[in-house]
Chain A
Amino acid sequence: MLTFTRNKLVSVWRKDDDTLSAHGILEDDIYSLEIDVSLSLSQLEILSIAGKWNRAENSECRRAIPFLQEAVGFKMGEGFTQRVQKLIGRKSCRHLADMLLVCCYSARDTAQVIRWEAEKEKRPDLGLVEVLSEQRISSSGPIKDSQISSGKPLKRGAGDLPLSKKAMIRGEMIIDLHVHTSPASPCSSASVGELIEEAKRIGLDGICLTDHNYVWAAAEVERLREKHDFLILRGNEITTDQGDVLVFGLEKEIKGIIALKELRQEVLKAGGFMILAHPFRGFLTFGVGQLGLTVEKAMERPLFEFVDAVEILNSKVTEKENRFASEVAEGLNLQVTGGSDAHAVSGVGIYATRFSDRIDNEIDLIRALKKGNYVPVAFREGMKKRS
């Protein structure tokens, strides 16, 4: 039985010598909307946008329409899709953003067809394939074959950071193992300096920089530590075919998406540690009952064989999803950690991990992670209760 249908239709025509008009319609079981976009033919720059809802999920979806204007002036090119998805998708509506993108891509393809028709007048035997091939060759370099660039396992000394004064006089350490900084993580709004100062202010003993597929230079982290007099460690949140994984102790830079099995081999070679980040993010939005997902069934997922621990406190998922992750990890007898997954200053330390061992540097961190003497904690909540 059909449970859902969605139709998108885009028509593009040439309004004048340098203007393309695109009219897009989206019709599905939940939404009905229309978008009109004009773009310059020569620059593929958005000149105007108008949007309209015919049917929507709720009465407030109409609030999304004015935000469409923020994309006026955007030029198609490197980073265009991400910009539209981030700005229009979040401030306005992701369905409007997606439809805007479909209109813009259709306009870009129209520009190719128009160029072909113009070229054909000069070279009547020219086929569209040749024009497209010429454009492809002239507009793009060789495709980067993603994955792993060269690197070496972490050696003692790399990122070997002295312990913060505060941590030295304590028997345990509380470290936020999962934070994102801007611009290393494009999705984050917090600079590394702001995050560190906030972490210090709320009383954390250290943070771990885990920007998406980004390896911080040990010297830069050392400079930050000295400047802020605070324990700063390096990690990396790597996107795999099975979801996001927090990796510690791997100096190799991973570009693009990597298979979890392949990543496991690299981390084992480097003597590092892997934590499955927010493993059930989005799993339970519709309720466990609706999809019939049980802890036992979730435990059967093969990805758990390729990690050392599971993040069971993450501030970007629901309490139910955290609880579910906790039950699955317990069933599989896997170590568990907590991290804020902060993308803004106010998020750092919401969750963290309390270590029984002293941690002076990245080598100590990996040793402590492997030893297993730690527990995830709701740090900010605890801070409120204490004050």
Chain B
Amino acid sequence: MPEILSFSRNICTVVEQIRDDLMTSSCRLQDTLMDAYVKISVKIPDLEINGIEGKLERSFSGEKIDVEEAFNKIMGTRVGPGIRKIIRGFIGNSATEKQLAFMVEECCSGLILSFTKDQMKKIPKDPEKARHFFENLVRENPRLYKGCAALSPGSPLVDNIKFD
């Protein structure tokens, strides 16, 4: 059987610092069935969504979605833990709406990761110092412990940490 592609999906997320008190995060999804764009504006430091827009350029699902209406419900929501549940709860259940919700989530993840990136720049190059860095990070943020394989028992990054 020739290995010709049956389906292709591209998702590109970009985060931009507009002003000291404003950031935007946009996501473009293009695949065999759909082409859509979502952009959120977020107030700093609250990380509150104060603007959201989107466009469905192409969709083979045949659904007619009022993108604006679907998005209005999440205005004022804060980007942070629990946002996924809120987005999924507010932006419909149809296939297209689920995809739009996923794109909003991508925007939110990108935004959070842009801050993570700044933190990562502080990791020392020396392996032992780097280990201490992560150890302190987990001590200060206990919910990171057992949150992934790298920060679970057995990993040298958390060897010296014991939570009740």
Contact = CB atoms under 8 A, between A and B. Distances in A.
B45 A318 contact: no
Contact of B149 (A16, A91, A239): A91
Contacts of B116: 30, 57, 286
Contacts of A13: 3-6
A61 interface: yes
22 contacts: A2-B14, A4-B15, A5-B12, A8-B9, A8-B12, A11-B7, A59-B127, A63-B150, A63-B155, A90-B147, A93-B150, A102-B9, A113-B32, A114-B6, A241-B73, A241-B90, A283-B47, A286-B119, A290-B115, A293-B46, A318-B140, A350-B164
B142 A318 contact: yes
B114 A4 contact: yes
Interface string B123-151: 10001001000100000111100111111
Size band of the B side of the interface? 35 or more
A67 B148 CA distance: 10
Nearest to B115: A286
A350 B5 CA distance: 54
A6 to B, nearest CB: 4
Interface string A1-37: 1111111111111111000110000001110000000
B41 to A, nearest CB: 14
Contact of A57 (B6, B120, B146, B147): B120
A319 B74 CA distance: 29
Interface stretch (A126-134, A166-174, A363-371): A126-134
B149 A242 contact: no
B13 A14 contact: no
B65 interface: no
A380 B140 CA distance: 19
B82 A30 contact: no
A243 B116 CA distance: 22
B137 to A, nearest CB: 9
A316 interface: yes
Contact of B74 (A64, A67, A136, A241): A241
Interface string A291-302: 111100110010
Size band of the A side of the interface? 35 or more
A149 interface: no
Contact of A61 (B4, B11, B149, B164): B149
A177 B74 CA distance: 29
B11 A102 contact: yes
Given A90-B146, A136-B95, A291-B44, A6 B154 contact: no
Contact of B45 (A91, A109, A256, A292): A292
Interface in B56-108: 60-62, 73-74, 76-78, 80-82, 85-86, 89-90, 92-95, 106
A281 interface: yes
Contacts of A9: 8-11
Contact of A4 (B14, B60, B143, B156): B14
Nearest to B14: A5
Contact of B156 (A16, A60, A110, A129): A60
A132 to B, nearest CB: 5
Contacts of B119: 286
Chain A to chain B: the 6 pairs with minimum beta-carbon distance, closest first: A257-B89, A4-B114, A291-B45, A60-B150, A129-B62, A110-B7
